[in-house]
Every structure is written in C-alpha cells, then in structure tokens.
Structure 1
Amino acid sequence: MNMKHSKIDWPVMFISGGLLTAFVIASVINAEAVGSFVDWSFTFATTYFGAFWQVLMLATFLIAIAIAFSRFGKIRLGAMDKPEFTTFKWISIIMCTLLAGGGVFWAAAEPMYHFLETPPMYEAEPGTAGAVIPAMAQSFLDWGFLAWAILGTLAAIILMHAHYDKGMPLKPRTLLYPVFGSKVIHKSTVGTLADSFSIIAVAAGTIGPIGFLGLQAAYGFEAVFGLPNTFITQVLIVFGLVSVAAISAVTGVHRGIQFLSRWNVILTMFLVGAVLILGPGGFIIDTFVGTTGVYVRDFFELSLYRQDPAWLSFWTLFFWGWFIGYAPMMAVFISRISRGRTIRELVTAVAIIAPIVTNFWFSVVGGSGIFYELQQAGAVSGALDEGGMPAAMIAIVQQMPYGTILAVLFLIVTVIFVATTSDSMSYSISMAVTGGTTPSAGLRVFWAVLMGAVASVLLYLGEGSIDALQSFIVFTAVPVSLLLLPTLWSAPKTVRRMYREQFDAQNRS
C-alpha cells in the first residue's frame, strides 16, 4: 500500500469538521447554552477522569524513561539509518509546535497567578518572596516532564513502528492496532471515532491560541503603536497568521515548517539573552535553579496531588486535559519528523530537553514578572487584572530598558510560535485524514483556513467563546485518554518486538 498519497477518509472528515462547525453555529445561536454545556462537560471530565489522567501521565513518563535508558533505547525508528533533520532543526520543530499551544500566553500569566494565590500544597504567604518558588514549581509541573511525555513518547514509538515497518496508516487509530489488530484500520467505527475525536481535540486546542493571539497582538499593537484594539484589528492579525501558516504547511516540513521553527528558536534565544542582560538575570537564574530542585524533590507529590479537587481542575487538570487531547496528533507529527532517530534520542528530546527548556522559558518570562511585582505591587498584576493574559507579557517587558523594542520582538515571536503550531497541526490533521505522510496541499490549506475562520467567529462572539472552546478540549480528552491507555503496555511489547527484528537481522547479516 502506498501510504504517501492515501485517499481522504470522508467519515472522519465529516465528523471532525462537522462537530467543529456545529460548535460555532451553536455558539452564534445561543452562546449561553453552549457555555453551560461546556461548564458541565468540563466538570464531568475533571471529576470522573482527573485521577486517571494523573496516573496515565505519570505512568507514560516513567515507562518512556525506562524504555529509553534500557537496552531498547538504541532501537532506531522509522526504517531509516540516518535522521532526516539535524538535531537543532528537529528539536526546534518540536519546541515550536507545542510551546505556542499556550506557553507564550501562559508563561507570563500562570506564574503570576500562582504568586498572587499560592498553590494549596504550599503554605507560603501570597505575594511575598516565599511564594516565588511555589508559584514557579506549580508552573513547572503543569508544563513539565509529564506534559511533554504524553505528547510524543510511547504513542510515537507505536505509530512509527506500525507505519514505517508494518505499513499501517499514520492515523491515531493505529495506536489501537496492537490491541485490535488490522480490523481497527479499515472501515472500523472505533477507528473512525478515534481519529475524529483526536482531530477535534487538537483543532480546538489550536483554535484557542489563534484566538488568543488575535487578542494579545491587538493589545500589544495598541500599547506600543496606538493602533485601535478592535475586532477588525484582531481578525486582520488572525488572517495574517493563517496566511503564514497555510504557506508554511503547503511547503511542508522540510521547508516552511522547519524554516519558521529554526529562526523562531534563534530569535527566542536572542530575546532570552536580552532579558537576562537587561532584566533581572540573577533573579531568573536563581529562581530556575531553586525551583528545579523543589520540582524534582516534590515530583511525585505534585504529580498525584488530589486534596483540592476544585483548584486542581482549574489548573493542572485543565492543562493536562489539553495535552492529552493534543497527544495523538502530536504523536503523528513527531512520527513524521523523527525518522532515523533512536528511541533514546526521541524520549530525551521530548520528555527531558523540551520540558527543561520550557521551564526555563517560564522562568525568564514569568520570573521577570514576579520580580517586578515584588519591586512594586501591581506593576504586572494590575495589567493582568485589567487586560487579562494579553496584557501580562507586554507589562513585563515594558518594565525593562528598550521595552518597546522588546515588546515588538516578543509579539513577533508569539505570532511565529502560533503560526508554527497552526501549520504543523494542519499538516498533522491532513495526515490523520488520509493516513499518508504527504497529504495534498489543498487539504492542508483547508484545515489552516478552517481553524482561522473558527477563531475569527469566536473573537466576534467575545473572548468568553474562546475560553469555552479551550475548556471544551478537556471534555474531548476523555475519549482520547482511553485511546492512549493501551500504549502503557503495547509500547513495551512493541519495543521488544522491534529489538528482536533489528538486532536479529544484524546478527544474521
């Protein structure tokens, strides 16, 4: 079977695209009813699946690490002897694809929220120096090792073996192949639902950041250049973003996606250096090192904390539901860009390097915000309360020398981060709909434009509609988490089979 140019799976296309369209239409007709349904579904998901998600996330990380640093770690994935991308380009694509999914917005806001209201597992007085480490430790947990491990370790290993070695389609349903066999691949209701819910979850998780980008960039342009922060401005920003994402998706992973990712990482590294020099560099380094120690020390306690369910649902389970919803499609994308990598390289990059870089990014952005808030109460929290997340990052960089220039550069980085996520997920959704590694350009553009159009409609309805979609992804994570559950035992079985196949073949030769 030629998996590069497989046909469109129309049932999956209609279900995923239809339900997204239905969400928008329902929001236009009765936004209040949609909001009530989202609130109910969010509460249902976090109440009945929260503990399961915490165990699933922790188990995925521990099993992935155990496999990577055992003898199975040297297994090479993707039926290719050498990687397609250099290590820097490869990690850049991985980082940009997810970090824009919320990191650029939450990096400024989440540490500040936890600083002003200390997480319940710590007893530090809010708004004081003693609250700094607890605030950052909670942010590290939400965006750290477990969050990244679920996105592209066990699931990616299974998909790469099934697709490149066994000829199975590069779709989320293929994760069930070790359980149900080939019957789940062709004309399977379970397979169709697995693909559809995975696409809906990742589309919802990508539309949210696109909408937030419209809000943040419009706020930034008003703060820096005096341009009016109106719906028209927000939609023009979204249109520009979608245009960049569509062009990047059409040119593919070897050109547009890797080009944007590589240069955005370079620009981000420049900004990090600028903030360390112009901003509170010593405070940032001390906070990162100190918080890393506390995060590692309290790792299991934080990961399995259950004593305040309401708070937990609002923070950790919200983010982890988001990551679980993203996981199958991220695994599809990582499978596409990781050919020729060993299991040890894959797990190290995704579950160790990426979260450490993410946590350092949170220390740079969020740590700076906390520093300035300690110097003058309200310096950042005032803007956060009045303007929400879009205002937080601008308020932080404007405390520094050359604040206007830094604000513009941060806006550019944010736009490219979200564009990279949009083009990567448009590409991944197209792969999931067709099962091949090179879906048609028209299909990639369709999904990029659809996500931009949905974001524009939700912006028109108000920021609350975007928040509702963000919360809805937590509900979609319920079926997706059941899809991921078998990877806990099918991944170890798969690597044992791959080990025999690869090294027995070497011994015979």
Structure 2
Amino acid sequence: MANGDATSSSEVSSNVEAKLVPILTIGFISLFIFAALFDMSSFTAFIQTSFESAANTFGQSWQWLMLVNFIFALVLAFSPLGKKVMGAESKPTIGTFRWLAMIMCTLLAGGGVFWSAAEPIYHFITPPPAFSDVSGSTLQAVAPALDQAFLHWGFLAWAVLGTLATIVLMYAHHEHGVKLRPRALLFPIFGNKLENHWMGSVIDACSIIAVAAGTIGPIGFLASQLGYSLELLTGLENNVQSQLVILAVVVAVYSISAASGMDKGLQWLSRINVIGAFGLLLAMLFLGPTQFILNEFGSAFGGYLQHFGELSLTTDKPSWNVWWTWFFWGWFIGFAPMMAIFIARISEGRSIRGLVLAVAIGAPIATNFWFTVLGGSGIYLELQNPGVISGPLNDAGLPAVLLATLSNLPFSSILLPAFLVLTTTFVVTTGDSMAYSIAMVVSGDNEPDSKHRLFWAITMGVVAAVLLLAGDGGLNALQSFIVITAVPVSILIGFTLISGPIAALKMTCAKKYVTV
C-alpha cells in the first residue's frame, strides 16, 4: 500500500506540475493585458523604467555571454566532437533546403525585411559610438553603418539562437528521452531533478512569456506598418479598424498553417519565403546600385571581422547601447530557448559541425548580404540625393525607410507590394513556428495536438489585437518587456556554456541511444 501511495502521490505531483506552465503563462499574459488596459500611461512608464534598468544592469554581461557562446560553439564544431551526428537517425530527416529555409524564416521574421532597410541608414546618418570619429552621411560612413548592422544580425545573434542550446536539447531528448522544454537545457548539470519540479515549470513559463512577447510585438507592428504602407500606396486610411482587419488576415493565415502541422504549412511557407526573398534579392541587385552594393559588402564585411571584438564588447556609450545592442541582445536571448527547441525538433541527423556552420556562420553571412542589398540601396540613394531617405525617416520614423528606398527604384510599383507580401509571410512563418514550439512545451509532446497549436496561434493574435486597441503604447511596452524577460532567460542560456560542451562530449562517448 505504501508503494501504491507513493506512486499515486508522484502522479498527482506530475499532473499538478503539468498544469503549472499554462497557468503561469496564461495568467501572466492576462495580467499584462489587464494592466495595459487599466492605466496605459502608468503601465508603459513602469515597463520603460524596468527595461532601461534591466538593460543597464545586464547589458554588458549579455555582450560577454553572446561572444563566449559563439566562441564555444566554434570550438565544438572544429574539434573532433563536431563530427558527432545528433539524434537516432544517421541521416537528416528533413532536406537541407527545407531545413535552412525554416530556420532562416523563423528568425528573420518581418525584422529581416524591416530592419535590413532601416538600421543601416540610421547608422549611416548617425554613426554609432564605435565609429565616433566618422562623419555621418558621408561615403566614409557607409562601411561603419553596415558593420554595426552586421553585428546586430550576425554571428553572435544567430549563434545564441541555435548552437549550444540546440546541442544540449538534442542530447537530453535523444539520449535520455527528456522532453523538448527549456528546462532540458539544464539536464546535463542537474539530470532529471527539474523534470517534475515547480522550478522547471517556472523556467518553461519564463521562456514562453519571453518568446510570446517577441512574437506578438512583430505581429502587432506588422499590422500598423502594413496599414501605413497601404495608406501611402492606395490612400486607404490607416486607423485601428484597418489595422485590425489586416491583423485578422495575418492571424488566420498562420493559424491555419500551425493547425496543419510542421510537415505541411510551415515547410510550405518557408519555401515560399526563401524563393521569394531570393527573387527579390536578385531584382534589387539588378535594379539597384549593383557595383556599390558589392563593393560596400566586401569592405564592410572585412571591417566587421576586423572590428569584431571591439564592436562585440564596446560600452563607450551605455545610453546608446540600451536602445541598440543591449536591446537586440535581450531580444535574441529571450527568443533563444524556444528557438533552440524548434531547431532541435527539425535537426535530427545533423552533425554538431553542420549545425554550427549552417546556423552560426552561413546564415549570418547570408543575412549580412541581405542587409547590404536593402540598406545599401537606401544609403546609395541618400548619397546621390540627400534627403530622399533621411526625410521620410525623420518625418515618419523607421517604417518609412523601406518604402522610401523601394519608391526610388525602377519598377517600384511591383517591388513595393512584393516586399510587403514578403514581410507578411516572414512574420506569418514566425507566428506559426513559435505557436508550434509553445504548444510542444506546454503539452510535452513533439507532435502537439492541432487544437493546442491553434490555441496558441490565436492567443498571440488576440493579445496583439487588444494592445492595438489600447494604443501604440501597449505594443511598445511589449517590445520593451522582452528585454526584461531576458534577465532570467539569460541565466538559463548562461548555463549552456557549461552544459553545451558536456552534452557534446557525452553524446560522442555514448554507445546507446534512446529513441523518442
């Protein structure tokens, strides 16, 4: 009887723990919405103060975390451990093109289109602190502007999202049958102690809240950006009602995709995104300043490598870092556990070396070239005709840069709608993949039920709609909030500096596999 009582008690504890993650997650999101609707101005002020405090306190530590994570990943990749194939399969279960397409589209999202045009021109006009001796809006400011953008969307950002953390998850899941959840990142250190412990639920909930904030924000901003773009292109009034209609369409598309499963909607969307992005890249190269783009990419990438250490660790001007480097690092760190889960889910049969080279080297170089094509085109236009890009930037902010750039290129009537569609499909892909990942964590199932996937997909859309109704302050607060959530998540990612090498070593030495 005592044995039966112990078993019954263990099952009850496990059931309670299983419900704790959705309770914590949904409860916190509900409180966030309630606070935003109750007193938006006070709530926004509180979030902003907390954001700046978090960035100032942890920003420098995040710089070291990002750099060391990248270095450790490279060491593992080029060591004998890099040959190890992860998972129970000896060959990849998903084709290389589809695999890379899903990874790149999930991370880049709308930001890969929006920031690629906006960030370089901003740094070109106002050089970052690392290049304070350079005069803005001059030919000499082009390479430094691209260097800074390369840092924010380059090796360090990609590495934290899919290298050490993914290796740990692949080890825990395939070698020991541990569920793909953020708490599994601590498995090589603590073993199974967190599997049915409330602390494991808190870790999972923090990671889900962080990625939800990082996904809901772009979904909401996409609606406002498309509303702004459609007003300029068609004269359709950009108001809350039109933004909500746009949002409803976006949410409907990625919800249907999420419900259809990873092997259908997500892979199809990813292929469309990559093919579309490649086609538009060629169009921009052909229609834009081709020679200028190629020359500046070579010059800027060389400068990026030359100043890599300085750019990675500079703290010359904390007030600037808060709104740029530390903001981005908080964003990517907040995404890291859930993104690593997604990559681990689709990477069985890949070697450690193949994973690191694809995610931390190949993808960043492709991203940097993409930034040069879009951002470099805007810089070239500004050099030729001062004010043509900076004017809209000053008048309407960063969202205006992409439209201003495309409007001044040949066949703009085709390029403009094409890029708006691409931005939308990128965000849709991220919404789809993150809804899938959240459903995996909450359910503890690699193939979560379509109802779970649909619930989280719709929930993120509903939150975005509520914050749109509450005003821009709600979405801005959510954008800042991910940096706050990055504080506990960064501690979790910090452990992968230890657990990553341990996992790689144990995987290589393992003789027996557990098929999950």
Bin the TM-score by the shorter chain. over 0.9
1:101 and 1:205 in contact (8 A); partners too: no
Q: Among 461, 469, 483, which residue is 1:452 paired with?
A: 461
Q: Among 38, 50, 68, which residue is 2:47 paired with?
A: 38
- Tell which deviates more after alignment, 463-472 or 347-356: 463-472
- Tell which deviates more after alignment, 434-443 or 202-211: 434-443
Q: Among 87, 104, 107, which residue is 1:95 paired with?
A: 104
Task: After TM superposition, give the deviation of residue 376 of structure 1 in Å.
Answer: 1.4
Q: Distance in 2 between matches of 1:51 and 1:321?
A: 11
Task: After TM superposition, give the deviation of residue 179 of structure 1 in Å.
Answer: 2.0
Task: After TM superposition, give the deviation of residue 260 of structure 1 in Å.
Answer: 0.4
Q: Residue in 2 aligned with 1:146?
A: 156
Q: Distance in 2 between matches of 1:448 and 1:384?
A: 33
Task: Letter of the 1:457 partner, please give it.
Answer: V
1:264 and 1:416 in contact (8 A); partners too: yes
2:40 and 2:473 in contact (8 A); partners too: no
Q: Is 1:243 matched with 2:249?
A: no
Aligned-residue Cα RMSD (Å) equals: 1.5
Q: Distance in 1 between matches of 2:378 and 2:278?
A: 18
Task: Letter of the 2:181 partner, please give it.
Answer: K
Q: Distance in 1 between matches of 2:395 and 2:117?
A: 15
Q: Among 121, 127, 136, which residue is 1:126 paired with?
A: 136
Q: Is 1:159 matched with 2:169?
A: yes
1:118 and 1:134 in contact (8 A); partners too: yes
Q: Is 1:423 matched with 2:428?
A: no
Q: Distance in 1 between matches of 2:442 and 2:95?
A: 28
2:110 and 2:424 in contact (8 A); partners too: no
- Listed one character per residue, the Cα deviations across residues 380-430 of structure 1 (whole Å, up to 9, x for unaligned) are 122222222322211111101110110000011001000000000000011
- Tell which deviates more after alignment, 242-251 or 326-335: 242-251
Task: After TM superposition, give the deviation of residue 226 of structure 1 in Å.
Answer: 2.2
Task: After TM superposition, give the deviation of residue 306 of structure 1 in Å.
Answer: 1.2
Aligned positions of 1:271-290 closer than 5 A: 271-290=280-299
Task: After TM superposition, give the deviation of residue 459 of structure 1 in Å.
Answer: 1.6
Task: After TM superposition, give the deviation of residue 129 of structure 1 in Å.
Answer: 1.1
Q: Is 1:74 matched with 2:83?
A: yes
Residue 228 of structure 1 aligns to a residue whose secondary structure is: coil
Residue 408 of structure 1 aligns to a residue whose secondary structure is: helix
- Consecutive unaligned residues in structure 2, runs of 5 or more: 1-13
Q: 1:456 to 1:385 in 2, by over 3 A?
A: farther
Aligned positions of 1:317-336 closer than 5 A: 317-336=326-345
- Listed one character per residue, the Cα deviations across residues 313-341 of structure 1 (whole Å, up to 9, x for unaligned) are 11000001000000000000001111111
1:216 and 1:389 in contact (8 A); partners too: no
- Listed one character per residue, the Cα deviations across residues 46-101 of structure 1 (whole Å, up to 9, x for unaligned) are 12111111111111100001101111111111211111211111000000001016
Q: Distance in 2 between matches of 1:20 and 1:157?
A: 30
Q: Among 467, 479, 484, which residue is 1:470 paired with?
A: 479
Q: Is 1:405 matched with 2:414?
A: yes
- Tell which deviates more after alignment, 146-155 or 464-473: 464-473
Task: After TM superposition, give the deviation of residue 469 of structure 1 in Å.
Answer: 0.8
Q: Distance in 2 between matches of 1:371 and 1:93?
A: 32
Q: Normalized against structure 2, the TM-score is what?
A: 0.94
- Tell which deviates more after alignment, 195-204 or 462-471: 462-471
- Listed one character per residue, the Cα deviations across residues 168-207 of structure 1 (whole Å, up to 9, x for unaligned) are 0110011111222211111x12211110010000000001
Task: Letter of the 1:155 partner, please give it.
Answer: A
Identity %: 51
Q: Among 5, 19, 37, which residue is 1:10 paired with?
A: 19
Task: Letter of the 2:176 partner, please give it.
Answer: K
Q: Normalized against structure 1, the TM-score is what?
A: 0.96
Task: Letter of the 1:448 partner, please give it.
Answer: A
Q: Is 1:295 matched with 2:297?
A: no
Q: Distance in 2 between matches of 1:384 and 1:456?
A: 26
Q: Distance in 2 between matches of 1:495 and 1:87?
A: 22
Q: Distance in 2 between matches of 1:424 and 1:471?
A: 22
2:83 and 2:351 in contact (8 A); partners too: yes
Residue 127 of structure 1 aligns to a residue whose secondary structure is: coil
- Listed one character per residue, the Cα deviations across residues 349-386 of structure 1 (whole Å, up to 9, x for unaligned) are 11011111111111111111111111112211222222
Task: After TM superposition, give the deviation of residue 103 of structure 1 in Å.
Answer: 2.0
Q: Distance in 2 between matches of 1:88 and 1:9?
A: 36
Q: Is 1:63 matched with 2:72?
A: yes
Q: Residue in 2 aligned with 1:223?
A: 232
- Listed one character per residue, the Cα deviations across residues 104-142 of structure 1 (whole Å, up to 9, x for unaligned) are 221111111111111011111011111111111110001
Task: Letter of the 2:252 partner, please give it.
Answer: S
Report the number of matched residues: 498
1:101 and 1:206 in contact (8 A); partners too: no
Aligned positions of 1:246-395 closer than 5 A: 246-395=255-404
- Consecutive unaligned residues in structure 1, runs of 5 or more: 1-5
Q: Residue in 2 aligned with 1:181?
A: 191
2:110 and 2:222 in contact (8 A); partners too: no
Q: 1:258 to 1:36 in 2, by over 3 A?
A: same
- Tell which deviates more after alignment, 457-466 or 286-295: 457-466
- Tell which deviates more after alignment, 13-22 or 66-75: 13-22
